[in-house]
Structure 1
Amino acid sequence: MISNFFSQSKPINFVAVSVFLLIIFAITKYMALDTQSDTLLIVKQVLLFGICLFSIFVFDFLVNKNNLTKNNSYKILLYVLFIAVLPEVLLNSKILLANLFILLALRRIISLRSKKDIKKKLFDAAFWITIASLLYFWAILFYILIVAALIVFIITDIKNWVIPIIGIATVAIIAVSYMIITNIEIYDFFDKLIDLSFDFSSLNSKRIIIGATVLLSFGAWSLFYYIKNLKSKTKSSRPSFSLIVIAAVLSLAIIIVSPNKSGSEFIFLFAPLAIIMTNYLEVVSEKWFKESLLWVLILTPIITLLL
């Protein structure tokens, strides 16, 4: 049974998830790329797969390091299953890279719980989010998560509130210097970068509608139990779990305001949603229900391919 196999955290689980991701990646790229293969294209796709795989490693590390779930592999399985349900996330290289930087930032933000190296962690978080926003502007909403972390972890020293601004300024100076050296028009760059839209017509495909409906339905159901069980968490860990909910809300906001809605913007939701659903799977006593939920996620991409 799948639920039993991933109920523990072992190297074989990560290998299985990696192979599954490779299959999804290969099928998606095969169906999407019309150009003939050449060395440059192959190298680019290998690098993109490496980014996806490294993102899962970073995600697994931040969850385990901060005890956001129990010792199992459900979170990385769910993360890859979400990609299978909405494979459009693999078709935008900039968003894939931006998501990796957001995961790196999230790792630093959640680790503020320890109250160690606060200034360094705040600088790193702002630094990574700023880089992500240069690749995909609306990743900028995750700055709100830094402010939320300062509040929920009761970090009151005014110096710590200034540190993120320094992180933002550092990236801005480097980016502007690079644009000047390479003769990139700064105004045009940001004019093209900053945009929003509330037009969802581009998401009007059976695969995206079915995939998004499955994810959001399971997510909403799991979120209800996740919030309900927050009271059972220790007082010291409760803020970390609250930040995951805020991250999920910010990810939904990005989906709503995204200027070019292709389905790829859903990737920012995968990490917080995987944590929320994993916490739900850990408290489900009925094994058949847990198994059924996982099988629905496995069968959904297969069904949508046949439509």
Structure 2
Amino acid sequence: MITSIFSKSKPINFIVVFFIVLLAFLIARVQLVNEAITIGLVFKELGLLFVCLGSVLLLNFIVSKNSLTRFGNYEILLFSLFLLALPQSTGDANILLANFFVLLAIRRIISLRSQLHVRKKLFDTAFWIAIASLFYFWALLFFILIPITLLLYTDNKIKHWIIPFVGVVTVFVICVSISIVWNGSFFGIFVNLPEWSYDFKNYNTLKFLLFITTLFSFGLWSSLFYIKNLKQKKKAFRPSFTVVIIAAVIATAIIVLAPEKNGSEFLFLFAPSAVIITNYIETIEETWFKELFLAILFLVPFVLLFI
């Protein structure tokens, strides 16, 4: 039943996905927000909700525009289910915004496939990653995607290797200018040094363990087939698919390094994981197995709500 609904792109799919995202967002607010309800808080939370919904639409755009999956909407369904399975992933405003800007960067770097406006796309990618790092420092790791993508396209033009750094410097100059105006100093805006932690004790709960086991078991299993099938993709599309798997590796590194392991750091992993798992689902020929595979992913978030 789930496969028949989401195997093709339909308006009803977005309604279902938006409802799941809204449910995840509301559950997170009930669990995490302890402030008194004010007009300012309402507008702030509405803004963050729109960021969540915008991330769904942006993911769908990236996937459909670059043919990362076939014609269904499994990827946005999985993304929304991941949010519901771990509502805390929507709890940190900075990470929500950082992830949105990372998706904007991934959109630009994947679009290099067309080899049109390469310089502008490289600048935009670096610019958005730098903006994302202002909200969450470790988002800067996604900058690794740029040189890797240039290598995948065997791009030897020196200008193309320099332009991304211009994008980062542009953000730096803007931040310094803002710092001078607001704080009266050159680097007043850069008050926090990067932090990291290898303390995983917060994950030592039944709910976290079940979620992590589900996400990584399904993700790793799908990744094996994803990597295996890379050679079967058209040569022009291979770098785009490679970017997705590398983005998943970077997101995993961010989870490991995250200074506060409260669940919000998993958000960076949801989009690439959704694309990877969707690619595996689309290769399953047995209808009963595909339904079972999706049913487990669909039911797990609702089971976790009662733990």
**Fold conserved (TM > 0.5)?**
yes
How far did 1:187 drift? 5.7
What SS does the aligned partner of 1:283 have?
coil
C-alpha change, 1:228 and 1:248, in structure 2 (3 Å) is same
Find the counterpart in structure 1 of residue 123 from structure 2: 123
Query: What's the counterpart of residue 160 of structure 2?
Result: 160
- The 3 A distance-change label for structure 1 pair 298 and 156 is same
* CA shift for structure 1 position 14: 1.3
Q: Which consecutive unaligned segments of at least 5 residues does structure 1 have?
A: none
What is the match of residue 134 of structure 1? 134
User: What are the superposed Cα offsets for residues 60-87 of structure 1, whole Å, 9 maximum, x if unpaired?
Assistant: 1011111111011001001101111111
Aligned to 1:112: 112
Alignment of 1:210-229 (within 5 A): 210-229=210-229
| Residue in structure 1 matched with residue 58 of structure 2 by the alignment | 58
Match of 2:248 in 1: 248
Q: Is the 8 A contact 2:81 2:298 kept in 1?
A: yes
Check conservation: 1:134, 1:193, Cα contact below 8 A: no
The answer to whether the Cα contact below 8 Å between 2:23 and 2:84 also exists between their aligned partners in 1 is no
Map Cα deviations across residues 9-33 of structure 1 (whole Å, 9 max, x no partner).
1222112211221122112212322
Aligned to 2:21: 21
SS in 1 for 2:214: helix
Q: 1:78 to 1:72 in 2, by over 3 A?
A: same
Which 4+ stretches in 1 moved above 6 angstroms? Answer: none
Unaligned residue ranges in structure 2 (runs of 5+): none
**Cα RMSD for the two superposed structures:** 1.5
Quick check: 1:136–1:193 contact (8 Å CA) kept in 2? Answer: no
1:35-76 alpha-carbon deviations (Å, 9 max, x no partner): 332211111111100000001111110111111110110010
**Distance (whole Å) between structure 2 residues aligned to residue 65 and residue 133 of structure 1:** 26
Report the AA paired with residue 209 of structure 2: I
- TM-aligned CA deviation for residue 204 of structure 1: 2.2
Q: Please tell me whether the aligned partners of residues 179 and 187 of structure 2 are also in contact (alpha carbons under 8 angstroms).
A: no
Moved more, 288-297 or 184-193: 184-193
Q: Note the alpha carbon deviations across 1:233-285, whole angstroms, 9 max, x for none.
A: 11111111111111111111111111111111111111111110010000101
Supply the AA of the counterpart residue of 1:80. Answer: S
TM-score normalised by length of structure 1: 0.96
Task: Give 1:177 shift.
Answer: 1.1
TM-score after normalising by structure 2? 0.96
Q: How many residues align?
A: 307
**Counterpart in the other structure of 1:92:** 92
- Taking a change above 3 Å as real, the CA distance of residues 299 and 184 of structure 1, as seen in their structure-2 partners, is farther
Does structure 1 retain, via aligned residues, the 8 Å contact 2:179–2:189? no
Query: Which shows bigger deviation, 120-129 or 243-252?
Result: 243-252
